[in-house]
A and B are shown apart, each in its own frame.
Chain A
């Protein structure tokens, strides 16, 4: 269906090709997963299928790409629109119209499909994707998962034979991701659609793939094979594969179910051992992980932990939120939130898209004014504090780290950050060198990869050394290597006594990093307790390792590895 014949793509002004030696075929009706670390050219390969590379992006494409027999050299993207449907990373930038129904019809209108057929297909697609309730809604008012489903629906209505998706689930909460993937599987199974998909969160998608194409390194030709074969050699792999590699299971299990059936002996070997959570690696200067969910016990504990904190100038509680309610546009975004954040602890804020995670973080830095209740950060009320003073109390790395970057070069950005924070010149640059070794002064922040940009934003925020560090969805678009670097950095910060709050959909990250998980639903706290307790109890928020080794409470592969060592 899709045929790459010795394809290489060189962008204008680039020294080497972005991808080369791409030579494989995607047969009709298969779901092929494109994997690889960040920056290996996954998006370029996907773009070549729809013809956007090179017709829209510029650059030179050597070799030949054919889709359903059409050569992309002679066919522009618009002439491939009836056979290829493309959904990019950000559904909002894909939308042309403003309501769900119009958006679904837009592609068909362009192709000149008869009105009766359009009407029928819109109704079918509304049902297929469960969007019937939302048909008259404005696209801007939908949640992330709904938007992603509309984006997929909008390319489905012209009945393309090929569907190309770039990270369709990376912005979604676990439940919404399941929903989108279920739709894709249904398309492949029932309708014979060919799907080519790139995704960083392999734990979500690997089980659905018929074949995996691995781009191991920039400029290296892809390796094609069955998921189990490729995962055995891949530099990026989900926890289930990590556990399989650790326990030497062959063939490698790809689903939790397969792994559980093999895990009997591993569970036996692990029986009686305890996850080394109390001793490693964060707790040098920390209180023990919270044993209880109740607030007063947490506070009592804070009192006992002041001894440890005596060295740092931070107050006893980094932040305290009491009966906080935030009302926005007639709806309550947050309702009666109580939260105490103590120095040195890492809290994962979880919950579905739109549950109020970002609002809570924004309230802590004063971007949102509470409707009622109180917020104290380092003894100050954030929304009444001048920004200059607040940066030394709390720092937020927003969902889009680029929002924090204004300057043309990394060096200029660092100088500005030192001035803003009133820190000694060179503070920020030293942090950047530590977090991002090998980044030169003259590089433009926009040319950095997603992970590097996050690290730069983090360095800028850390320049003011805020005791409270907030991160909104930090792992969106990060590969496993970038993620583990981030985990190392954040653990070190927590060990220094920084309190860290991260809003995330990434259950594996939360398992790896957080002492405590706060679950939000509809603006209310529905669970607050130690990671192991909260996460294990919820099927959608449990990490893969936990599911495989249940009822034992292991959270990550590295815990298991340490216990076995």
Chain B
């Protein structure tokens, strides 16, 4: 362990990581030799890919294309998700998507739809509403056109949700935060800790509700939940304090000495940059600021970035096995971006195929080349190797 060990021992110890590194490089097929965990792709690549698919979904209401997008993202998630807790969130997102779909259809049925239609499916008894509620309809005719329109619309939203879910499942958002610039690192850790706060809170609440049973009180129902509220918050707070102490004792927040001039320049650059961004955005959004808006915004962004970079000098941190942005990451990113770009192009070139009309009611057709473009999104499934699954045996001799 210690640096000052015998030279022979050091040589032996050193040989080991090097050996394992060569094994990895052959395993993952990259030649960069970066100290990258086997099979792990830069989380940024997965997020760009998923957001690309999501962008593509906003360009179309064609249910066939949307289903294809869902299938593509689900296939990649099924083959490539990592065995982390965040990967379970995909199921949650799927349920949320389904709920959105059902709620939208229920609303269209009960409240009616602004889409005029001729194909009446059924007529619900209409509730007469007072005159101040004019424009709101309860019950009445339910048309096939209205329902179809609601379905297309909801499917689009569900696809968006599933794409975000896919990003969560493929790359832990916490790992994405690790790639932040040094100056933002501490904020990043704070965010990560805050992200784990909610799951811990839920686990605590479940444990304490169970404990209510031990005291002979009902452990189900709303009252059970309300009664444990205070102890749960107390416990969560105590844990946060304990974690803060542990982090402090392990060197969180150590800073390097930097000259006062650098500190002042950093502050000036960051502040000035942010002001520039604000003013520039304002300029862009108002009618009369069209001339100075864009240059000011750009200058602000540059100044803020320079401030961040300079601020990074204050932190001593180094990164353990940082995620490398390698060829695979480029390809995965490209695949996502090209799906988005091609569907945007298709939406302008052939709007009728991508947004099938509901009046008159026609069966949507699958536009050939946009569908092929969506299939490009499958590329990551073949470009990247599957993550190795560590043994998940919950009980292991300690």
Interface residues, chain A, CB within 8 Å of chain B? 50-52, 55-56, 76-82, 84, 86, 88, 90, 93-96, 98, 101-102, 105-115, 118-125, 127-128, 134, 136-138, 140-146, 154-156, 158-159, 172-173, 175-176, 179, 187, 190-192, 328-329, 331, 352-355, 362, 365-367, 386-388, 390-392, 395-396, 398, 403-406, 416-417, 420-421, 460-461, 464, 522-523
B-chain residues with CB within 8 Å of residue A106 when the two chains form the complex: 250
A78, A155, A156, A522: most-surrounded residue (chain B CB, <10 A): A78
Residue B84 lies at the interface, judged by CB distance under 8 Å to chain A:
yes
Task: Check A81 against B250 for contact (C-beta < 8 Å).
Answer: yes
Task: Check B35 against A115 for contact (C-beta < 8 Å).
Answer: yes
Q: Scoring B residues 72 to 103 as 1 if CB is less than 8 Å from chain A, else 0, what string do you get?
A: 00000000000111000000000000000000
A-chain residues with CB within 8 Å of residue B396 when the two chains form the complex: 134, 142-143, 146, 354
B243 CB contact (under 8 Å) in A77, A93, A192, A421: A93
Of B12-20, B54-62, B159-167, the segment with at least 4 beta carbons within 8 Å of chain A is B12-20
Q: Known: A81-B249, A403-B208. Is A110-B317 also a contact (CB below 8 A)?
A: yes
A118, A154, A387, A522: most-surrounded residue (chain B CB, <10 A): A387
Closest to A332 in B: B395
CB distance from B183 to the nearest CB of A (A): 14
Closest to B193 in A: A96
Task: Check A96 against B247 for contact (C-beta < 8 Å).
Answer: yes
Closest to B248 in A: A77
Task: Check A398 against B211 for contact (C-beta < 8 Å).
Answer: yes
Closest to A144 in B: B398
Q: Known: A329-B394, A353-B398. Is A420-B242 also a contact (CB below 8 A)?
A: no
* Distance, CA A52 to CA B245, complexed state (A): 7
Interface residues, chain B, CB within 8 Å of chain A? 1-3, 13-14, 16-17, 20, 35, 37, 83-85, 174, 189, 193, 196, 207-208, 210-219, 227-228, 230-231, 239, 242-254, 256, 315-322, 388, 390, 392-398
B2 CB contact (under 8 Å) in A79, A191, A522: A191
Task: Check B249 against A354 for contact (C-beta < 8 Å).
Answer: no
B17 CB contact (under 8 Å) in A123, A140, A367, A396: A123
Closest to A110 in B: B251
Task: Check B216 against A421 for contact (C-beta < 8 Å).
Answer: yes
B-chain residues with CB within 8 Å of residue A137 when the two chains form the complex: 390
Task: Check B318 against A108 for contact (C-beta < 8 Å).
Answer: yes
Task: Check B249 against A77 for contact (C-beta < 8 Å).
Answer: yes
B1 CB contact (under 8 Å) in A98, A156, A522: A156
B-chain residues with CB within 8 Å of residue A176 when the two chains form the complex: 398
CB distance from B135 to the nearest CB of A (A): 50
Task: Check A420 against B215 for contact (C-beta < 8 Å).
Answer: yes
A-chain residues with CB within 8 Å of residue B253 when the two chains form the complex: 78, 110
Task: Check B320 against A111 for contact (C-beta < 8 Å).
Answer: no
Task: Check B252 against A367 for contact (C-beta < 8 Å).
Answer: no
Task: Check A143 against B398 for contact (C-beta < 8 Å).
Answer: yes
Instruction: List 22 A–B pairs whose Cβ atoms lie within 8 Å, in order of A's numbering.
Output: A76-B248, A78-B252, A78-B253, A81-B254, A93-B242, A94-B246, A96-B243, A96-B247, A108-B318, A119-B35, A119-B320, A120-B13, A123-B20, A138-B85, A146-B398, A329-B394, A365-B213, A367-B210, A387-B217, A390-B216, A396-B214, A403-B207
Further contacts, 6 of them, CB under 8 A, given A77-B249, A115-B321:
A98-B84, A107-B250, A108-B320, A110-B317, A460-B215, A461-B214
B252, B388, B398: most-surrounded residue (chain A CB, <10 A): B398
* Distance, CA A14 to CA B29, complexed state (A): 63
CB distance from B219 to the nearest CB of A (A): 6
* Distance, CA A478 to CA B319, complexed state (A): 41
* Distance, CA A267 to CA B231, complexed state (A): 53
Closest to B390 in A: A136
B-chain residues with CB within 8 Å of residue A395 when the two chains form the complex: 214
Task: Check B397 against A352 for contact (C-beta < 8 Å).
Answer: yes
A-chain residues with CB within 8 Å of residue B239 when the two chains form the complex: 93
Task: Check A112 against B320 for contact (C-beta < 8 Å).
Answer: no
CB distance from A469 to the nearest CB of B (A): 12
Task: Check B319 against A110 for contact (C-beta < 8 Å).
Answer: no
Task: Check A352 against B398 for contact (C-beta < 8 Å).
Answer: yes
A-chain residues with CB within 8 Å of residue B392 when the two chains form the complex: 141
A-chain residues with CB within 8 Å of residue B2 when the two chains form the complex: 159, 191-192
* Distance, CA A476 to CA B252, complexed state (A): 30
B251 CB contact (under 8 Å) in A81, A93, A159: A81
Closest 3 CB pairs of A and B: A145-B398, A81-B251, A112-B316
Task: Check A464 against B216 for contact (C-beta < 8 Å).
Answer: yes
B-chain residues with CB within 8 Å of residue A121 when the two chains form the complex: 1
* Distance, CA A111 to CA B20, complexed state (A): 25
B249 CB contact (under 8 Å) in A52, A102, A406: A52
Q: Known: A331-B393, A352-B397. Is A124-B319 also a contact (CB below 8 A)?
A: no
Closest to A386 in B: B218
CB distance from A41 to the nearest CB of B (A): 17
B-chain residues with CB within 8 Å of residue A172 when the two chains form the complex: 398
